[in-house]
Amino acid sequence: MNAPNTDTGWKARATAKVGRRVPAAAWGLALAGVLAIAVIAVLQLRKGPDAGAGTRLPFKEISASPVVATISEKSIAVLPFENRNTEKEDEFFTDGMHGDIITHLAQLHELRVVSRTSVMEYRGRKENVRQIAQKLGVTYLLEGSVQRAGNRVRVSGQLIRAATDEHIWAHAYDRELTDIFSLQSELAQAIAGALRAALSPQEKKLIETRPTENLVAYDLYLKARAGQDALRPFTERIALLNAAVQLDPKFAAGWALLGAEASNVARYDYTTSVTANVARAKAAVDHAVRLAPDASATLIAQARYMMWLEKDYTAATRLIERVLRQTPNEPIAFAGLETIARVEGRWPDALRHIRQAIRLDPGNLAHVRQVMTMLAAGRRYDDERVERLKLMDSRQENVSGAYDVALVSFRATGSKREVEQFFSGLAATDVNATDVLKCKQDWAMINGDLSEYRPATQPNPAPRSRINMALVFFARGNRLAAQAEVSDTAALRSQLELRPTDPWLWSDLSCMEALLGHRDEALRAVRRAMELEPESANAATGPQRSASLAFVHAWTGDKDAAIAEYARLLRVPFSGLNVHAMKRHPAFAPLQGDPRFEALLDDPKNNAPLF
């Protein structure tokens, strides 16, 4: 499936036009006392310094070169099809055909098929087929083109053995547009035959299933899928899907994708009622289940709903396992198992699952960065650094990637040397680049040097940005300016009326109230956040609620309780806290200098690997 018939992944592509909430994964590497308590506003994982520049780094001398893996003889990547339509707007149709071919091939157990996400970067490729195949870890590449004219469509394809650049199969199909689904099935079966992959009766049935008899509905569905790639607003995609299922109420894949998109809205839209959005998501998913209960698209949409909106991880796991039994090449399924394993505190299992997702979808940066998030949570700094260097070697990472690598050594040892070398080694043309300025702001917070700190200007800053700036003003000794930054909680309270069960909003509110000195209000808010998402129910993000509690204790005068809570959290896999990052970051200012707090940060056990 590789997701063309459902959502783009468990970490959905939320757009700023829907709501301001950043998915948990995006905050995963920030300091808990900062991120979980809503303090960090920029990059992923930064806060607090210490140690001299001369400290020897304990990292092993490691190479970023990837390990050479055995490539399956029956492995294939389908490169983006060339759009030969006269109308540029028809590119959505070409991309839709491409996605559906991958979907069909992904259902064949004898093949290893690379996800669509990973191949899309090779649209209009400049690299040769051998280089692309090596990067994707496959033996074969399929190239193709699509042309639609009137009521006819022409699809051509050629299968290439990348190591020798040998074209082992090629064919062109000219059909009536009404025969488009038979064409897709025939093409997939021809490719499987060329690769000597036997089809079981069930696989043949899956490939030959027609999703809809209404080609206008199919066009709308493909446009909605294309909108995912283009990061179009949820409202546009949902309108297209609503129109599609109205034209064909029996269009199960359309209902499944509508359910997945509605689930995204329920998670990320902070401008409308979460209750109403959950009801819409459930209605669409239930409709898909009634029509095609065993279809992978249905199962994924259903699993997504159960996992994110019902928090029923047992049911979600059963659904995902059903997906993998019939679609073994589905990276989204492995990513779902990774999320559930993290929630349940099974970190080694989570790493194993996400690496399986990367094997099928090596170009998906969300998966790659999730590995780094987990390694940071487990304080496995050597491994994290390897992954970050590999990412820089294999991708067009911007300058912030080099900053991330330097920060790993800081978090491991407290040495500022690599970060300072990063800044001093920048080219003159890069010094004022946007990414570099963000890195400088981030390092200023970590380093406690806030004299020149200036936040990015934005018309209506989110609570986390306002809390961040309030901490800067506190560090400068300007209490009035600090409290002015967080004094207006009306907008946040309005969001809570729409989303009363959102732990992130309650955490934000608790931090703002704590900085205002409103102890009782802050404790009430943070305890509500912890009730909604306790560590016992979510080992991945539950500790962030506890970190908010520690922040509230620290800023409302209960140092004993704050230090005790931070001491406990430092023994929990959680990428939000780092001992070196807690020494000067303004989020921990009330505790800095207290001998008990300093002893906590100096204890080697509190920066040792956790799994």
Q: For residue 327, what is the domain's CATH number?
A: 1.25.40.10
Ranges 42-46, 75-79, 398-402: which has the least confidence = 42-46
| 221 and 284 share one domain | yes
Q: Looking at residue 570, what is its pLDDT?
A: 97
Name which of 150-159, 237-246, 427-436, 531-540 the model is least confident about: 427-436
Task: Tell which residue, 567, 431, 439, has the closest CA to residue 46.
Answer: 439
> Under a CB-based contact definition with an 8 Å cutoff, are residues 240 and 96 in contact?
no
List CB contacts of 69: < 8 A, sequence separation 6 or more. Answer: 137
pLDDT, tens digit, 9 for 90 and up, residues 287-305: 999 999 999 999 999 999 9
Distance of CA 391 to the CA centre of its chain: 16
Do 537 and 416 reside in the same domain of the chain?
yes
Q: What is the DSSP string of 330-396?
A: -HHHHHHHHHHHHHTT-HHHHHHHHHHHHHH-TT-HHHHHHHHHHHHHTT-HHHHHHHHHHHHHHS-
The domain boundary residue, chosen from 378, 410, 433:
378
Tell whether the model's pLDDT for residue 506 goes beyond 80: yes
Backbone phi, then psi, for 83, in 5-degree steps?
A: -85, 110
Task: Give me the CATH number covering residue 130.
Answer: 3.40.50.10610
Strand partners, 175: 153
* Domain coverage including residue 318: 215-378
Per-chain mean pLDDT for the chain: 87
Q: Which helix (H) or strand (E) holds 314?
A: helix 313-326
Terminal Cα distance for the chain, rounded: 33
Domain boundary among 156, 175, 208: 208
Flag whether 1 is in a domain. Answer: no
The alpha carbon of 576 is separated from its chain's Cα centroid by a whole number of angstroms, namely: 17
Residues 406 and 331 in one domain: no
CB 106 within 8 A of CB 113: yes
State how far the Cα of 390 lies from the Cα of 29, in Å rounded to an integer. Answer: 18
Which residue did the predictor score with more confidence, 430 or 99?
Answer: 99
**pLDDT tens for each residue of 473-495:** 999 999 999 999 999 999 999 99
Count of domains forming the chain: 3
Tokens found for residue 33 = 């006392």
Which element (helix H / strand E) includes 264? helix 252-268
* Weakest mean pLDDT among 18-27, 60-69, 146-155, 577-586: 18-27
Q: Is 152 domain-assigned? A: yes
CA distance 31 to 577: 5
- Looking at 208, 228, 255, the residue that finishes a domain is 208
Statement to judge: residues 200 and 226 lie in one domain: no
The answer on 188 and 97 residing in a single domain is yes
Residue 52 has pLDDT above 60, yes or no: no
pLDDT at 454: 76
Q: What is the C-alpha to C-alpha distance for residues 294 and 272, in angstroms, rounded to an integer?
A: 32
pLDDT value of residue 495: 94
Segment 408-425 shows an average pLDDT of 95
pLDDT band at 7 (very low <50, low <70, confident <90, very high): very low
For the cut 90, the answer to whether the pLDDT of residue 345 exceeds it is: yes
Look at residue 85 in the predicted model and tell me its pLDDT.
81
Q: Is 177 exposed, middle or buried (CB count within 10 Å of its CB: 0-12, 13-18, 19+)?
A: middle
**d(C-alpha 313, C-alpha 10), whole Å:** 13
pLDDT attached to residue 395: 61
Q: Average the pLDDT over each of 368-377, 382-391, 415-424, 447-456 and give the range with the smallest value.
A: 447-456
2-22 average pLDDT score: 41
Q: What is the pLDDT of residue 308?
A: 95
167 within some domain: yes
- Residues 163 and 239 reside in one and the same domain: no
Closest CA to 146 of 214, 207, 99: 99
- Identify whether 20 is part of a domain: no
In a domain, 61, yes or no: no
CA distance 590 to 380: 29
Measured CA to CA, the distance from residue 63 to residue 66 in angstroms comes to: 8
Indicate whether 81 and 150 sit together in one domain.
Answer: yes
State whether 438 and 575 are in the same domain.
Answer: yes
Given a cut of 60, whether residue 59 has pLDDT beyond it is no
Residue 391 lies in a domain: no
Residue 40 located in a structural domain? yes
**Is the CB of residue 593 less than 8 Å from the CB of residue 587?**
no
Residue 420: both structure tokens together: 């300072």
Q: How confident is residue 429, by pLDDT bands cut at 50, 70 and 90?
A: confident
* Whether residue 265 sits in one domain with residue 226: yes
Q: Is the pLDDT of residue 200 over 60?
A: yes
Give yes or no: residues 36 and 145 share one domain. Answer: no
Whether residues 358 and 448 share a domain: the answer is no
Q: Are residues 515 and 575 in the same domain?
A: yes
